[in-house]
Structure 1
Amino acid sequence: MSGGISDLDKNRALAEWLEWQLRQVRGRIRELEVKEQQEARARQRARAEQSWKIQPQRGGMPAMLHRGGCTLFKSELGFLDREEALIALAEPDIEPCQICNPQTGLASG
């Protein structure tokens, strides 16, 4: 050693710095993953708000048309588009939900 920093110390310092950078990058990846998941949920909500769904007839209650985002009925099935919702609403045995008022979204288009 000639009084300067040894190669070993330089490499240890480099390793510490690279580990710090790796932690920073991994943290940023986690942030971006969360943001991506939030954006995907927002896109799903937006799609649901532009769609409709039908709650099947149960226990003497009529079938009911809901807005896609209505939380009174969670559908495992796909959504209806505007034309399909208009057809469903014209059926005598399907009533509109009194909470989400799906016919409002069907009036324009």
Structure 2
Amino acid sequence: MVEEYQAFQLERTRATIRELEQQEEQERRRREAARAQSSWKIKPKRAGRPALLHRGACKAYQGHAGYLNEMEARTALEEPDIGPCPVCTPQTGLT
């Protein structure tokens, strides 16, 4: 009887730990998505294609380069060899 109760308690504890870990992962993903929404990223120049500035959450470029802040994004748009993504239009609100 005591052994069964302890096994029950152990399973409840493990279930609680799993729930908390899932909540923590969901919160981490939410924070990352919010950060991407308010950031920008640059797709490097490749094979004759120009470098492109994207919004952080743009699906047209899923690169894992570091995010840029607003000032860095404005500076990037001023560069002659970096253009704006035609899909996410990252220049909106920057210029």
TM-score (norm 1): 0.81
**2:87 aligns to what SS in structure 1?**
coil
List gaps (5 residues or longer) in structure 2.
none
What is the number of equivalent residue pairs in this alignment? 95
1:41 is matched with 29
Q: Deviations over 1:16-47 (max 9, x none)?
A: 11110110110111011011111101101111
Q: Name the aligned partner's letter for residue 91 of structure 2.
A: Q
Cα displacement (A) at 1:97? 0.6
Is 1:70 matched with 2:58?
yes
Q: Name the aligned partner's letter for residue 23 of structure 1.
A: E
Q: Name the aligned partner's letter for residue 35 of structure 1.
A: Q
Cα displacement (A) at 1:105? 4.3
Which protein is richer in helix relative to its size?
Answer: 1
TM-score (norm 2): 0.92
1:53 is matched with 41
Distance 1:34 1:23 in 2: 16
Q: Name the aligned partner's letter for residue 16 of structure 1.
A: E
